[in-house]
Amino acid sequence: MPPDVAVAELRREGLIAPPGADQPIHDGSGRVQLSFTVIDGQDRTVRVPTGVTVFDSASWNGIAIDSTCGGHGTCHKCKVRLDVGTPVTRHDRRTFSDGELDQGWRLACLATATRDLAVEVPPLTTRPKAATVGVGRQVILRPAVQKRYVELTEPTLADQRTDLVRLTDAVDDLEVTVDLPVLRRLGRVLREADWKVTAVVVDEALVDVEPGDTTGSAYGIAFDLGTTTVVATLLDLTTGTPVAVASRLNAQQPFGGDVITRISAVMLDPDALDRLQGLAAATLDELAQQVCVEGGIDPAQVYECAVAGNATMTSLLLGIDPEPLGVAPFVMPTAHPPVVLAAEVGLRLHPRARLALFPALGAYVGGDIVAGMLATGMDRDKRTRLFVDVGTNCEIVLSDGDTLVSTAAPAGPAFEGGAIRCGMRAADGAIEVVTVDVGEGTVTLGVIGDVEPRGLCGSGLVDAVSELVRVGLLDASGRFVPEEQAAATLPLLADRLTKVGEERVFVLHRPAPDTDVAECVYLSQRDVRELQFAKAAIATGWALLLEQLGLEQGDVQQVLLAGSFGSYLSPASAIRIGLVPKIPVLRIVSAGNVAGEGAKMALLSLRERAGATTLLEEVEYVELSDRPEFNDRFVDQLSFPG
Amino acid sequence: MPPDVAVAELRREGLIAPPGADQPIHDGSGRVQLSFTVIDGQDRTVRVPTGVTVFDSASWNGIAIDSTCGGHGTCHKCKVRLDVGTPVTRHDRRTFSDGELDQGWRLACLATATRDLAVEVPPLTTRPKAATVGVGRQVILRPAVQKRYVELTEPTLADQRTDLVRLTDAVDDLEVTVDLPVLRRLGRVLREADWKVTAVVVDEALVDVEPGDTTGSAYGIAFDLGTTTVVATLLDLTTGTPVAVASRLNAQQPFGGDVITRISAVMLDPDALDRLQGLAAATLDELAQQVCVEGGIDPAQVYECAVAGNATMTSLLLGIDPEPLGVAPFVMPTAHPPVVLAAEVGLRLHPRARLALFPALGAYVGGDIVAGMLATGMDRDKRTRLFVDVGTNCEIVLSDGDTLVSTAAPAGPAFEGGAIRCGMRAADGAIEVVTVDVGEGTVTLGVIGDVEPRGLCGSGLVDAVSELVRVGLLDASGRFVPEEQAAATLPLLADRLTKVGEERVFVLHRPAPDTDVAECVYLSQRDVRELQFAKAAIATGWALLLEQLGLEQGDVQQVLLAGSFGSYLSPASAIRIGLVPKIPVLRIVSAGNVAGEGAKMALLSLRERAGATTLLEEVEYVELSDRPEFNDRFVDQLSFPG
């Protein structure tokens, strides 16, 4: 067996990860830009972490590329045309003629994005039976939304079957229940449509009967309902392909940046719950209308939504008082939110469209993490894997290939730029990459939007601290070295080490030579402390989980960094500051927006959706706050391993 | 075994009917009045058909009397005090002292109402495990509405079970699902009530969580939703006892007296459906509020309603277009209406109260008849029984103790006083009983309300025709005999046979000697024809059903006359005009408001409710309108058997 075929075999058996999933993010390099030209579709320009495959980059951003193997390098169908000069793999040689290779044709699942690229995507040639979502997960299409076109015989005195039985007899592969609004329409639609209708079933509910054959139009929207950012993906449920993607800030932002401030708002003001519910609904609805416009789809053709959100976001969307989530002993109303009508929470889609919310493990390991576990196949991989969703509340899941344990760590706002002197969100002007060259005495900054730096976002903070530890300007305890020591050992950088008021700082960017240091973008001693507290909380979490399963740091075979922040973090920096276990950098994987991917999977496959419920039974939730050893371990983790 | 014990045995085995059920209505005697004085309760005066037991009279009218055997004469608990002089049975002698007997104490299930009676009812001494409903049906209490009081342990960091699981773990004998509005309240109620709450479950739905122990209060309302009259019975679901009964005309009346005119209204006016739905809801809601006031019950303690109505009434209540019910081939939207929230159709009870509608056999054998079959145990009796619900549309069910067949016959409005010259509803002033004495030459009239006669209601019409056939003023073909023949054979009555315009009439009541005949209450030749058509339609129905099962008229062991009209019909007259098979008069039983009784059974027992669904599979619906022999048989049935 040739090596690459053997590799594909191993991949199929889940013994090694698919291409892309294992690709390291180039140390400190941040993101690259892919410009997709979609034949018969909408062009898009997207930014992705370096090293992600072109196939995954497209998939995550709602761009459909032919594939039957799901990006595993075996079907040879994901043909795209890239800039001339892209490396040619063995599979490319088997698939394309020399002329085609010269024109830039490559297999998208084997081409990695290591620099800015132009990508031409041909139209889909087949209607797939399966779709690729999550981290290389191949999902057989069996959505909860099912349509059946039937041509019924008219009733006669000899055949007085009821309208409903006449319909359900014809749709005999599905069990259906009907509720009143549909029953009210049924008789008229059947007769006006001359008994030729399409039954629309979601799970077991007959949600509509449409005149004629509408089986070609069935859509769903997957929502990643984040505390900060909300992402919507419109999916064509007949093909599994994404039609449009949109994101925006959660409109609840004015009530506070994290879940605790929003819970507090509800505790202080009896009207806040209604307003927060309305804002969550407005956010989802605005995105829903936007993706429908972008996709050229009537919102009434959207029959189901899947929502992955943390327990607080889920409660607020449903209008359930989140107070018990915010105070010890942190109790959820239910782990399994009921299926509701999308209209019931305020979405203007099909009037009977269902909204399914992911179940949650605990008050601080919510539906977003369960969705993420689904998308990354946490329970279906034999390797020892650590899943870390870095954020204000950091969720951690550890699997030894057999047992799954999880916990939550209160990291605070540092990773979102909060409580940091020059901190800001990951928006234009934010420093996201920092590289220090000791020999040249230079500090190179990667800035979002390639504009004048305005501040420091989470990944930039981690990079800055990591680099200063590496070069020796910060010691292992997190203290800036004395000025005289800096001047002696790093003369070219020493002048950046100064003070703002009484506090020592390191200047990252000085707009002009005479700019006052207080107007510069800098890293302060207190910023370093904030980061130490944040990363120690996370490290204490995974350290205690490792202990629980009798494992050492080195046993971890893969770390999945999830969430919008995790995806842009430099693995090398994360290791250096001790945010993740000390393992080879290649084992650290940016998993992308796995909550949104899990929501897509739930829309595309009832089987996968059931898998989320199974996960709940498999994963043990470990409450850290009542562990007596927590504080000791936390102190242990404050310093930098170097 | 003494004879009466043997009788009780046979009754228990269903081989003979319970007392009351088999009691004949005294030929031509109509109704008697019972004045109940209820100790610790509300006094009531009711009118019931002669011959019904005091126990059944009380039960049908919402007056609770102690009983554990369900009125079968075995428990000796249904003690009441009647007028002195009421016959004493053997069981009375065993139960009461001579002094008590002298004071009028009797067992209510053995005392029949053959004359106006005063009845004193002592307070209930026990909370029964079973209730008597329907025609002597004993129902073990297991309502869909279940309450469980639980005292929960407070959550701790070591016990972070969700609020819902904490509750459902404690209510472990019930499977529950929860919907959003209840989930929204759950957390607050649990905490404010210090974790001591009562879970309210209807079927499998958790409809509320109430602070403290409210298990003593659980109510339901059984509705008989008739085209003409609607009856509501408020039931205490913890004891099975009726608390209050109320009835009123269906507010849809202005749209027409029968289902066809109401269906036509919807076909002609697109707004009529909404208005009819609203009127049905308003009728039910007004009655619901009335029985709650009478029973001293907060409407929010009513958690479930059961509704027995024909297919058109059911459709209109649900807001479903009834047009397909009204035109061939007479198709229902569904045989099994979905369970809806009472609030969804417009009832102001508990906001999550469920409303369960009886399933229907066909467009013209609806949920009211299925309820009636349940109440009369049509599928649980080995005898050959014929169930006839007389009305504009007459529903007929025949059982040979094994096979059940049913059909509907379009009888027209004659039985409701419609299309009859001096016809009127059964209200004050209506002649309901007619007795002709040939020797005296007198016509004795029973008039509702004991007032001056104003017209002729259905039972009076049947009586009048029957009597005139009996005395020979009407011949077998339904024609008034020639005047000279009347004068010769019945000289004392002949002057009543006269004319109004060109039409021959028989004067029943002349207010004053000089009153013009057109101002009198009379029976016209055309009235007789109308009755002939009506009764022939019904007789054709049961005759074809008998044929279907290979039976003769004489094989019928019991005829159950159901519905408000059937209950007041004179069995002898019904036989004489050929409305029912020619069998001994004792086998004709007035079954009362069996639809309402069936609705009560559904509220009191999930098992009985399931029985209604089973019935649908057991009963074959026979469509008469496509039978080629229908017209011939109809003509055969037009004449009077005499």
For residue range A228-273, list pLDDT tens digits in order: 899 999 999 999 989 999 999 999 999 988 899 999 999 999 899 9
Instruction: Give the DSSP letter string of A76-92.
Output: ---EEEE-TTPPPPHHH
What beta strand segments (E) does A52-211 contain?
79-82, 105-107, 117-121, 130-133, 137-140, 145-151, 177-178, 196-202, 205-211
Residues A549 and A522 placed together within one structural domain of the fold: no
Q: What is the mean pLDDT of each run of 10 residues along chain A (642 residues)?
A: 35 35 40 85 78 78 71 79 86 90 90 88 74 76 94 94 96 89 96 98 95 97 94 94 93 91 94 97 98 96 98 97 94 95 97 97 94 92 93 92 93 85 91 93 92 94 96 95 93 94 96 93 96 95 95 96 81 94 91 92 92 91 83 91 74
Residues of A in contact with B344 (CB under 8 A): 180
The counts of H helices and E strands in chain A are: 20, 29
B318–A621: do the CB atoms touch at under 8 Å?
no
Residues of A in contact with B188 (CB under 8 A): 321
Residues A399 and A447 placed together within one structural domain of the fold: no
Whether residue A502 lies inside any domain: the answer is yes
Residues of A in contact with B362 (CB under 8 A): 160
Nearest Cα to B242, choosing from B451, B495, B64?
B64
Interatomic CA distance for residues B429 and B452, integer angstroms: 6
Q: Is B441 exposed, middle or buried (0-12, 13-18, 19+ CB in 10 A)?
A: middle
Interatomic CA distance for residues A226 and A565, integer angstroms: 12
Contacts of B319 (CB under 8 A, 6+ apart): A180, A184, B273, B274, B277, B345
Q: Would you say residue B452 has pLDDT above 80?
A: yes
Go through chain A and tell me how many residues it has: 642
Residues B204 and B256 placed together within one structural domain of the fold: no
Is A363 in the B-facing interface, judged by CB distances under 8 Å? yes
Nearest CB among B164, B344, B362 relative to A180 is that of: B344
A321–B179: do the CB atoms touch at under 8 Å?
no
A321–B184: do the CB atoms touch at under 8 Å?
yes
Per-residue model confidence as pLDDT tens digits over A53-81: 888 778 766 677 877 665 667 778 889 99
- Contact between B314 and B335 under an 8 Å Cβ cutoff? The reply is no
Whether residue A133 lies inside any domain: the answer is no
For the domain that residue A567 is a member of, what is the CATH number?
A: 3.30.420.40
pLDDT at residue B601 in the model: 95
Interatomic CA distance for residues B579 and B364, integer angstroms: 19
Interatomic CA distance for residues B416 and B399, integer angstroms: 27
pLDDT at residue B33 in the model: 86
Nearest CB among B178, B188, B621 relative to A321 is that of: B188
Q: Would you say residue B16 has pLDDT above 60?
A: no
Top-ranked range on mean pLDDT: pick from B16-30, B70-84, B504-518? B504-518
The 8-class DSSP code of residue B112 comes to B
Q: Would you say residue B259 has pLDDT above 80?
A: yes
B162 min Cα distance to partner chain A (Å): 5
- Contact between A537 and A412 under an 8 Å Cβ cutoff? The reply is yes
A583 min Cα distance to partner chain B (Å): 33
What beta strand segments (E) does B391-518 contain?
393-399, 404-410, 430-437, 442-447, 455-456, 497-500, 503-509
Residues A409 and A441 placed together within one structural domain of the fold: no
Residues B227 and B180 placed together within one structural domain of the fold: no
Nearest CB among A157, A161, A340 relative to B626 is that of: A157
The counts of H helices and E strands in chain B are: 20, 29
Is A343 in the B-facing interface, judged by CB distances under 8 Å? no
Could you tell me the pLDDT band of residue B170, with boundaries at 50, 70 and 90?
very high
Residues B246 and B170 placed together within one structural domain of the fold: no
Could you tell me the pLDDT band of residue B63, with boundaries at 50, 70 and 90?
confident
Nearest CB among B164, B187, B338 relative to A183 is that of: B338
Is A346 in the B-facing interface, judged by CB distances under 8 Å? no
Interatomic CA distance for residues A21 and A16, integer angstroms: 10
pLDDT at residue B630 in the model: 86
Bridge-based pairing of strands A145-151 and A196-202 is antiparallel
H or E element at residue B60: helix B54-60
**Among chain A residues, CA nearest to B322:** A187
For the domain that residue B300 is a member of, what is the CATH number?
A: 3.30.420.480
- Contact between A561 and A573 under an 8 Å Cβ cutoff? The reply is no
Interatomic CA distance for residues B232 and B222, integer angstroms: 6
B161 min Cα distance to partner chain A (Å): 7
Single residue among B191, B211, B231 that ends a domain in this structure: B211
Q: Among B331, B341, B354, B617, which would you mutate to test the A interface (most chain A Cβ atoms within 10 Å of its Cβ)?
A: B331
Q: Among A327, A331, A365, A626, which would you mutate to test the B interface (most chain B Cβ atoms within 10 Å of its Cβ)?
A: A331
**Among chain B residues, CA nearest to A267:** B188
Nearest CB among B156, B191, B621 relative to A329 is that of: B156
pLDDT at residue A16 in the model: 33
Is B184 in the A-facing interface, judged by CB distances under 8 Å? yes
Q: Among A334, A344, A364, which would you mutate to test the B interface (most chain B Cβ atoms within 10 Å of its Cβ)?
A: A334
Whether residue A136 lies inside any domain: the answer is no
Whether residue A78 lies inside any domain: the answer is yes
Interatomic CA distance for residues B103 and B120, integer angstroms: 11
B331–A179: do the CB atoms touch at under 8 Å?
no
Q: Among B154, B159, B162, B613, which would you mutate to test the A interface (most chain A Cβ atoms within 10 Å of its Cβ)?
A: B162
Q: pTM for the full model? A: 0.82
Dig out the tokens for A518 from the structure. Answer: 């207080």
- Contact between B209 and B186 under an 8 Å Cβ cutoff? The reply is yes
**Among chain A residues, CA nearest to B333:** A163
ipTM over the 0.90 cut-off? no
- Contact between B147 and B215 under an 8 Å Cβ cutoff? The reply is yes
A178–B338: do the CB atoms touch at under 8 Å?
yes
Q: How many domains, chain A?
A: 5
Domain containing A442 equals 415-527
Is A187 in the B-facing interface, judged by CB distances under 8 Å? yes
> Torsions phi, psi of B295, nearest 5?
-85, -5
A545 min Cα distance to partner chain B (Å): 17
Is A156 in the B-facing interface, judged by CB distances under 8 Å? yes
Whether residue A192 lies inside any domain: the answer is yes
Residues A405 and A291 placed together within one structural domain of the fold: no
Is A479 in the B-facing interface, judged by CB distances under 8 Å? no
A140 min Cα distance to partner chain B (Å): 30
Q: What is the 3-state secondary structure (H, E, C) of B89-109?
A: CHHHHHHCCHHHHHHCEEECC
Residues of A in contact with B328 (CB under 8 A): 157
pLDDT at residue A60 in the model: 67
Is B186 in the A-facing interface, judged by CB distances under 8 Å? yes
Per-residue model confidence as pLDDT tens digits over B137-156: 778 889 999 999 999 999 99
Average per-residue pLDDT in chain B? 89
B345 min Cα distance to partner chain A (Å): 10
For the domain that residue A165 is a member of, what is the CATH number?
A: 3.10.20.880
Is B307 in the A-facing interface, judged by CB distances under 8 Å? no
Single residue among B211, B232, B248 that ends a domain in this structure: B211
Residues A348 and A253 placed together within one structural domain of the fold: yes
Nearest CB among B163, B328, B626 relative to A334 is that of: B163
Residues of B in contact with A323 (CB under 8 A): 187
Q: Among B164, B166, B180, B263, which would you mutate to test the A interface (most chain A Cβ atoms within 10 Å of its Cβ)?
A: B180
Whether residue B21 lies inside any domain: the answer is yes
Residues A408 and A550 placed together within one structural domain of the fold: yes
Q: Among B157, B315, B361, which would you mutate to test the A interface (most chain A Cβ atoms within 10 Å of its Cβ)?
A: B157
Q: Would you say residue B28 has pLDDT above 80?
A: no
Residues A395 and A466 placed together within one structural domain of the fold: no
Nearest CB among B157, B162, B330 relative to A334 is that of: B162
Per-residue model confidence as pLDDT tens digits over B185-237: 999 999 999 999 999 999 999 999 999 999 999 999 999 999 988 999 999 99
For the domain that residue A81 is a member of, what is the CATH number?
A: 3.10.20.30
The torsion of the CA quartet B81, B85, B89, B92, rounded to 10 degrees, works out to 30
- Sheet holding B196-202: strands in order across? B145-151, B196-202, B205-211, B177-178
Residues B484 and B633 placed together within one structural domain of the fold: yes
Residues of B in contact with A158 (CB under 8 A): 626
Q: Give the distance from CA B59 to its chain's centroid.
A: 12
Nearest Cα to B464, choosing from B430, B487, B491, B498?
B430
Interatomic CA distance for residues B562 and B53, integer angstroms: 17
- A588 bridge partner residues: A559
Window 569-628 of B: residues touching A by CB (8 A cutoff) are 621, 623, 625-626
Whether residue A364 lies inside any domain: the answer is no
pLDDT at residue B71 in the model: 64
**Among chain B residues, CA nearest to A329:** B157
B403 min Cα distance to partner chain A (Å): 21
How many other C-beta atoms are found inside a 10 Å radius of the C-beta of residue B533? Answer: 18
Instruction: Give the DSSP letter string of B166-199.
Output: HHHHHSTTS--EE-HHHHHHHHHHHHHTTTEEEE
Whether residue B600 lies inside any domain: the answer is no
Interatomic CA distance for residues B487 and A12, integer angstroms: 107
Dig out the tokens for B122 from the structure. Answer: 């002592």
Residues of A in contact with B183 (CB under 8 A): 318, 320, 333-334, 337-338
What beta strand segments (E) does A448-581 contain?
455-456, 497-500, 503-509, 521-524, 558-562
pLDDT at residue B243 in the model: 93
Of residues A411 and B344, more confidently modeled? B344
Residues of A in contact with B157 (CB under 8 A): 328-330, 623, 625-626
Is B324 in the A-facing interface, judged by CB distances under 8 Å? yes
How many other C-beta atoms are found inside a 10 Å radius of the C-beta of residue A91? Answer: 17
Residues B416 and B532 placed together within one structural domain of the fold: yes
pLDDT at residue A30 in the model: 62
Could you tell me the pLDDT band of residue B126, with boundaries at 50, 70 and 90?
low
Single residue among A179, A211, A243 that ends a domain in this structure: A211
Could you tell me the pLDDT band of residue B3, with boundaries at 50, 70 and 90?
very low
The 8-class DSSP code of residue A22 comes to S
**Chains A & B: contacts with CB separation below 8 Å:** 125
Interatomic CA distance for residues B164 and B166, integer angstroms: 5
B179 min Cα distance to partner chain A (Å): 6
Share of chain B above pLDDT 90, in %: 67
Rg over CA atoms, chain B? 26
